[in-house]
């Protein structure tokens, strides 16, 4: 009984864990809001689902995103980094368990009898020859760190937090890649629409040239009108190669995201008309966003790991006790190796306590505390930037709706003006300059409408990404130690 009572203070010490315990940052207040609601298109709640891109109703788009998630090289690197973090976690957990090792040795020895004074014992007689013999040894041992002040426990806590941070970073990478694929597809669709618009306008320009030439041949037009129409046609032709180059670059970027060469991508022809525009976009409330958005959760995990590092640095200031035992069988004859007469053992307990390290350990603790303060500030900044991004996109969504309606009305007016100008030119009531001006206005209106449509799709995709829809990995857990 006295033995057990003597061990009680040691057991109490073993239950001690140094450093502050981590507490997740407080969520935003219930009244926190992003501001505009996207003119009714946004629905505040829990946010989008995992495969948010299916809301655009395109099987082709869904297949491209799936290919990117499966084949993107950046995601492959991110997945490997996550696996490395989980392997490190298993290694740290293993250090908390008893460490068992085995050893075996075969040696050839010559015993120095003179070193033990046998020459003097022999007197004046002949020197005693040093005997040679073989020695066979096999044994093992076990050691266990009592972890009096919780250094190993804090190390496991830190490893879990770091593994979770890598998981969140990987989730963010998957989310970003999915968003970039969707946005790249919409960019290609917008460029296809602009190219088609430009080609239609070139056909209109060619029609103006033909009208001006017909009027000149009929004697009611002038060469100036013909040259003006031809100049407009030549000017509009110059913008088409630039659009085609932009489309080629967009296709190349999409191929890189998917992890294939541009030749393997295929036709990749898209049209905005083939995508459905979601009636409502589910947007996470601020309180839900901080528990779902992976970059915020990554910053929180980094803060957790930094807090655990304070505990590690604090525990290093205090003593540490290791207990263990070893056993060995040593015999000069291999056949007698496991005979009980050749057995030996050692049971030990070791204490290490820092006395003087030149201020290193205290400096490391202060550094860990400063790193935790930096992580806390980083977390707050990430949250603010996330809220600002969502708020800006909601404002953009509201603006997009009004802009699209205005551009549609502008194009209808420009189209009617062009029609009337051409009829007036055909009957000789106006000159070709009026037709050209009306044509330029119509061209600008059509291109502006195409840009407004593509911008609306792009902003909706960005809003899905900003409110944390996407890929989710299995959470890291303290796994059994690896062998």
pLDDT of residue 183: 93
CA distances from residue 214 to 211, 292, 420, 431, 436 in whole angstroms, order as listed: 5, 67, 19, 13, 16
CA distances from residue 237 to 40, 190, 199, 225, 246 in whole angstroms, order as listed: 41, 19, 9, 19, 15
Q: For residue 244, is pLDDT > 80?
A: yes
Q: For residue 186, is pLDDT > 50?
A: yes
pLDDT of residue 15: 53
Q: For residue 426, is pLDDT > 80?
A: no
| Spatial distance between the Cα atoms of 306 and 328, rounded to a whole number of angstroms | 43
The H or E element containing residue 324 is strand 320-331
Q: Do 342 and 308 fall within a single domain?
A: no
Residue 6 included in any domain: no
Averaged pLDDT for residues 164-178: 93
pLDDT of residue 14: 47
For the domain that residue 364 is a member of, what is the CATH number?
A: 1.20.1600.10
pLDDT of residue 120: 53
Q: For residue 442, is pLDDT > 80?
A: yes
Q: For residue 473, is pLDDT > 60?
A: no
pLDDT > 70 fraction of the chain, expressed in percent and rounded: 90
Q: Do 294 and 325 fall within a single domain?
A: no
Q: How does strand 281-284 pair with strand 42-45? A: parallel
Q: For residue 479, is pLDDT > 70?
A: no
Q: Do 161 and 246 fall within a single domain?
A: yes
Q: For residue 121, is pLDDT > 70?
A: no
Q: Do 375 and 396 fall within a single domain?
A: yes
Q: Do 80 and 203 fall within a single domain?
A: yes
pLDDT of residue 422: 79
| Spatial distance between the Cα atoms of 81 and 151, rounded to a whole number of angstroms | 25
Over the chain, what is the mean pLDDT? Answer: 85
For the domain that residue 136 is a member of, what is the CATH number?
A: 2.20.200.10
| Spatial distance between the Cα atoms of 129 and 118, rounded to a whole number of angstroms | 10
User: What's the 3-state SS for 79-144?
Assistant: HHHHHHHHHHHHHHHHCCCCEEEEEEEEEEEECCHHHHCHHHHHCCCCCCCCCEEEEEEEEEEEEE
Token code pair at residue 221: 């037009």
| Spatial distance between the Cα atoms of 330 and 345, rounded to a whole number of angstroms | 11
Q: Do 222 and 186 fall within a single domain?
A: yes
Residue 327 included in any domain: yes
CA distances from residue 52 to 172, 287, 437 in whole angstroms, order as listed: 14, 20, 44
pLDDT of residue 470: 67
Q: Do 83 and 105 fall within a single domain?
A: no
CA distances from residue 437 to 151, 194, 406, 411 in whole angstroms, order as listed: 78, 20, 20, 14
Grade residue 482 by pLDDT with cuts at 50, 70 and 90. very low
pLDDT of residue 126: 59
Grade residue 398 by pLDDT with cuts at 50, 70 and 90. confident
Averaged pLDDT for residues 424-442: 79
| Spatial distance between the Cα atoms of 55 and 62, rounded to a whole number of angstroms | 10
Residues 16-64 have pLDDT tens digits of 788 899 999 988 887 677 776 665 678 888 888 889 999 999 999 999 9
Q: Do 132 and 25 fall within a single domain?
A: no
3-state SS, residue 348: strand
Residue 259 included in any domain: yes
Domain count across the chain: 2
Q: For residue 271, is pLDDT > 60?
A: yes
pLDDT of residue 16: 76
Identify the DSSP state of 337: T
Residues 6+ apart with CB under 8 A from 279: 41
By residue count, the chain amounts to 483
The H or E element containing residue 301 is helix 294-315
pLDDT of residue 481: 41
Q: How does strand 281-284 pair with strand 132-145? A: unpaired
Q: Do 210 and 270 fall within a single domain?
A: yes
Token code pair at residue 222: 């002038």
Grade residue 392 by pLDDT with cuts at 50, 70 and 90. very high
| Spatial distance between the Cα atoms of 341 and 325, rounded to a whole number of angstroms | 19
**Per DSSP, what are the bridge partners of residue 328?**
139, 344
Q: Do 36 and 91 fall within a single domain?
A: yes
Residue 76: other Cβ atoms inside 10 A: 12
Residue 4 included in any domain: no
Q: Do 392 and 382 fall within a single domain?
A: yes
Identify the DSSP state of 341: G
Residue 7 included in any domain: no
Q: Do 454 and 402 fall within a single domain?
A: yes
- Burial bucket for residue 272 (CB in 10 Å: 0-12, 13-18, 19+): middle
Phi, psi of 280 (to 5 degrees): -140, 145
Choose between 128 and 419: higher pLDDT: 419
What range defines the domain where residue 139 resides? 99-146+319-353
Contact 33, 286 (CB under 8 A): yes
Position of tokens 């969504």?
397
Contact 477, 85 (CB under 8 A): no
| Spatial distance between the Cα atoms of 431 and 351, rounded to a whole number of angstroms | 103
Closest CA to 303 of 16, 24, 39, 18: 24
pLDDT of residue 39: 57
Q: For residue 477, is pLDDT > 80?
A: no
Residue 74 included in any domain: yes
Residues 134-150 have pLDDT tens digits of 889 999 999 999 999 99
Residue 471 included in any domain: no
Residue 345 included in any domain: yes
CA distances from residue 34 to 31, 227, 358, 394 in whole angstroms, order as listed: 10, 55, 52, 8
Residues 6+ apart with CB under 8 A from 474: 167
Residues 6+ apart with CB under 8 A from 385: none
Positive/negative CA dihedral, 181, 182, 188, 192: positive
């Amino acid at each position: 009984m006295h033995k057990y009572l003597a061990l009680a203070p040691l057991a109490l010490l073993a239950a001690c864990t140094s450093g502050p315990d981590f507490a997740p940052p407080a969520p935003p207040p219930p009244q926190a809001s992003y501001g505009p609601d996207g003119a009714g298109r946004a629905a505040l709640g829990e946010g989008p689902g995992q495969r948010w891109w299916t809301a655009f109703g395109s099987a082709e788009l869904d297949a491209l995103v799936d290919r990117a998630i499966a084949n993107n090289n950046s995601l492959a690197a991110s997945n490997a980094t996550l696996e490395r973090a989980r392997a490190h976690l298993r290694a740290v957990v293993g250090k908390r368990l008893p460490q068992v090792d085995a050893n075996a040795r075969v040696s050839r020895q010559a015993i120095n009898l003179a070193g033990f004074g046998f020459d003097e014992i022999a007197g004046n007689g002949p020197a005693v020859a040093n005997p040679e013999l073989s020695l066979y040894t096999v044994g093992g041992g076990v050691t266990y760190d009592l972890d009096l002040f919780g250094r190993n426990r804090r190390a496991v806590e830190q490893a879990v937090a770091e593994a979770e941070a890598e998981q969140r970073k990987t989730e963010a990478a998957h989310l970003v890649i999915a968003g970039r694929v969707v946005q790249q597809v919409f960019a290609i669709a917008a460029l296809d629409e602009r190219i088609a618009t430009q080609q239609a306008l070139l056909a209109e320009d060619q029609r103006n040239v033909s009208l001006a030439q017909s009027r000149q041949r009929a004697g009611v037009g002038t060469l100036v009108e013909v040259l003006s129409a031809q100049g407009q046609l030549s000017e509009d032709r110059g913008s088409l190669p630039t659009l085609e180059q932009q489309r080629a670059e967009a296709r190349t970027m999409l191929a890189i995201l998917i992890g294939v060469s541009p030749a393997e991508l295929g036709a990749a022809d898209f049209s905005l008309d083939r995508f459905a525009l979601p009636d409502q976009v589910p947007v996470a409330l601020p309180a839900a966003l901080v528990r779902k958005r992976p970059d915020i959760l990554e910053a929180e995990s980094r803060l957790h790991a930094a807090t655990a590092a304070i505990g590690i640095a604090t525990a290093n200031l205090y003593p540490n006790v290791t207990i263990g035992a070893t056993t060995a069988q040593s015999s000069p004859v291999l056949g007698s190796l496991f005979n009980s007469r050749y057995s030996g053992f050692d049971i030990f307990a070791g204490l290490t306590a820092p006395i003087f390290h030149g201020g290193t350990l205290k400096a490391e603790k202060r550094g860990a505390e400063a790193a935790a303060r930096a992580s806390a500030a980083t977390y707050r900044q990430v949250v603010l930037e996330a809220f600002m991004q969502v708020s800006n996109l909601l404002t953009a969504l509201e603006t997009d709706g009004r802009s699209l309606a205005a551009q549609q009305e502008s194009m209808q007016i420009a189209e009617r003006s062009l029609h009337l100008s051409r009829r007036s030119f055909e009957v000789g009531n106006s000159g070709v300059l009026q037709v050209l001006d009306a044509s330029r206005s119509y061209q600008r209106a059509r291109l502006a409408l195409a840009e407004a449509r593509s911008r609306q799709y792009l902003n909706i995709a960005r809003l899905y990404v900003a409110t944390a829809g996407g890929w989710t990995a299995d959470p890291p857990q303290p796994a059994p130690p690896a062998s």
